[in-house]
């Protein structure tokens, strides 16, 4: 096997390895992005619930405002 043939085979193997690495890291990145979105949505829901709790808390219902 000549030098150029071996070099061509090595280059082809390198390209395939890089392609696999890109696909795998792309999937991992998509998984991380999905987890990040879920965390953001959970925080929004929590903050929304806390904001609603302000309006139904006992101090608001009793009318104890210093008027």
CA atoms within 13 A on the CB side of 55: 4
Residue 3 lies in a domain: no
Residue 7 lies in a domain: no
Residue 10 lies in a domain: no
Give the pLDDT confidence of 36-62 residue by residue, as tens digits: 788 888 888 887 777 776 666 666 555
Containing domain of residue 40, as a range? Answer: 27-56
Residue 34 lies in a domain: yes
| Of 15, 18, 17, 11, the residue nearest 3 (C-alpha) | 11
Give the pLDDT confidence of 9-35 residue by residue, as tens digits: 555 555 555 445 444 555 566 667 777
Residue 35 lies in a domain: yes
| Of 27, 23, 21, the residue nearest 35 (C-alpha) | 27
H or E element that contains 67 = none
Q: What's the token pair of residue 55?
A: 């309006």
């Amino acid at each position: 096997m000549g030098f150029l043939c071996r070099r061509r085979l090595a280059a082809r193997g390198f390209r395939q390895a890089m392609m696999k690495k890109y696909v795998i890291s792309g999937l991992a990145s998509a998984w991380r992005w999905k987890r990040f979105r879920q965390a953001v949505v959970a925080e929004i829901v929590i903050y929304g619930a806390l904001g609603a709790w302000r309006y139904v808390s006992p101090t608001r219902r009793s009318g104890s405002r210093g008027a």
